[in-house]
Amino acid sequence: MANLHFHYGVMSSSKSAALIINAHNFTHNQNQTEVIKPSFDSRFSNEKIVSRIGLSWEANAIPSLQDYAPKPETKLILVDEVQFFSPADIDRLVKIADEQNKIVMCYGLMVDSNEKMFPASQRLIEVGAKLHRMESCCQINGCMRLATHHLRFDQNNKVIRAGDQFALGDSNYKSVCRQHFNQIYHAPQKVR
């Protein structure tokens, strides 16, 4: 079994729910598991991972993985919102996976709302993490295509095409297919 995994998908593709289910199953089977999230992500809770469907699990919120050291008895490390960590943090996870023979499963977004890859996500690909796409449908009414992109809107429902790559929250985002992304993102003054 590969010891470094990247479960990626758009917002609302059940990444956190899948992480919580894995935490439950591994812990239930008496496997020591550690759950980590970036302290930057404080949307729902500082010490828990909370999915949009109401599941939650205790987590260690940390700003960086540089000083992170799993307990010797830990077999599995689950990392939520991995895109908010740095490429150097990913290198730390690789070292833990390879040198300590731990299974590391990361969950997060691949690209931002401007079609730019998050640096941590890019690093996971570069170091050969096993990729697992978590699928979800486009959130445009009536569309059944695979959601692969995010659109971000301002308070006036206008598409935001520039700015910070890291913006918390999901109320001003919509997960869409590539076709709808191109139609809306590249069209002036489109609203949702």
pLDDT digits over 102-145, tens only?
999 999 999 998 899 999 999 999 999 999 999 999 999 999 99
Q: What is the span of the domain harbouring residue 55?
A: 4-133
Q: Which residue has the higher pLDDT, 131 or 170?
A: 131
In a domain, 139, yes or no: no
* Among 39-53, 109-123, 164-178, the range of highest mean pLDDT: 109-123
For residue 150, tell me if it sits in a domain.
Answer: no
The DSSP symbol for 82 reads G
- Cα distance between residue 188 and residue 139, in whole Å: 20
Residue 41 lies in a domain: yes
Tally the domains of the chain.
Answer: 1
pTM: 0.89
Read off the CATH number of the domain in which 32 is found: 3.40.50.300
Q: Which residues make Cβ contacts (< 8 Å) with residue 36, sequence separation at least 6?
A: 59, 60, 61, 62, 65, 68, 77, 78, 79, 80
- State how far the Cα of 139 lies from the Cα of 94, in Å rounded to an integer: 34
